[in-house]
Structure 1
């Protein structure tokens, strides 16, 4: 698999199980790009929704994408701490167009004190029926939620002490 080069600017695209484009983040600077993971940074970028709406993010964010785990993590840097929004979805793929993944509705919001909340379970159940998710998908995603919660409780990966701060400093360097 190709992977984006450090310092390059990429688009991030999420899709739904039926192949429909769900959401596009216009520009993310690649801070680390390997075949295993991509770490990116952005600040006040445009996001395009599939229904035509367009909005701008409110704060700087560090994004973590894995080629092996069924989730990605966005660390949003706010005045009162780092909030994490974790999307349950396929491991990423990358082509010259964009970094891409399939979003499977379930999300985990993690607060600065490392408490968390599982979101959008109703949306998952609805889309599971509408899009005829394969039976094994629910087990894969529940395992991913368990793995994600373990990472949060152990402060592993993007939840580790200093991770967001380190990559945010790199982002500021590349952004100039």
Structure 2
């Protein structure tokens, strides 16, 4: 798999299990990329929903994608601290200047004090039936959700104490 270069601007494409586009983030700056990992950042980027509606993100965010895990993590930098939004998803692929993944509905919102809440269990259950998620996918997602919560509790990976601050400092070097 080809990987983007640091400083390169890419898009992020989120799909649903049935192959339909879910959401597109117009521009993310690559901070680090390997065959396994992409870390990017964006701020006030245009987001287009599947129904054509658009909105603009409100704060700087650091995006963490890893081919080994069925989730990705967005660290949003706000005045009162860092909030994380974790998407349970397929591992990413990079093609056509975009990170692409399948969003599997379940999300975890993590607050600055590292407490968290699991979101969209009802949406997951509905889509699991509607789109006929295989039992193997269901099992993989639950295993990765468990691992994700362990990372949050242990403050490891993208939840490590200085992770977001360090990558945000790097992002500022690429800004105009």
Q: TM-score range by the shorter chain?
A: over 0.9
Aligned positions of 1:11-30 closer than 5 A:
11-30=11-30
Aligned positions of 1:8-157 closer than 5 A:
8-157=8-157
Q: TM-score, normalised by structure 1?
A: 0.98
Task: Name the stretch that deviates more: 134-143 or 58-67.
Answer: 134-143
Q: TM-score, normalised by structure 2?
A: 0.98
In the alignment, the residues of structure 1 paired with residue 92 and residue 2 of structure 2 have an alpha-carbon distance, to the nearest angstrom, of 11
**Structure 1 runs not aligned, ≥5 long:** none
Partner of 1:169: 169
Tell me by how many angstroms 1:96 deviates.
Answer: 2.6
For residue 123 of structure 1, give the secondary structure of its aligned residue in structure 2. helix
Tell me by how many angstroms 1:4 deviates.
Answer: 1.0
Tell me by how many angstroms 1:139 deviates.
Answer: 1.1
For residue 63 of structure 1, give the secondary structure of its aligned residue in structure 2. strand
For residue 17 of structure 2, give the secondary structure of its aligned residue in structure 1. coil
Aligned pairs, number = 176
Partner of 1:159: 159
Partner of 2:6: 6
Task: Name the stretch that deviates more: 91-100 or 157-166.
Answer: 91-100
In the alignment, the residues of structure 2 paired with residue 145 and residue 130 of structure 1 have an alpha-carbon distance, to the nearest angstrom, of 21
**Structure 2 runs not aligned, ≥5 long:** none
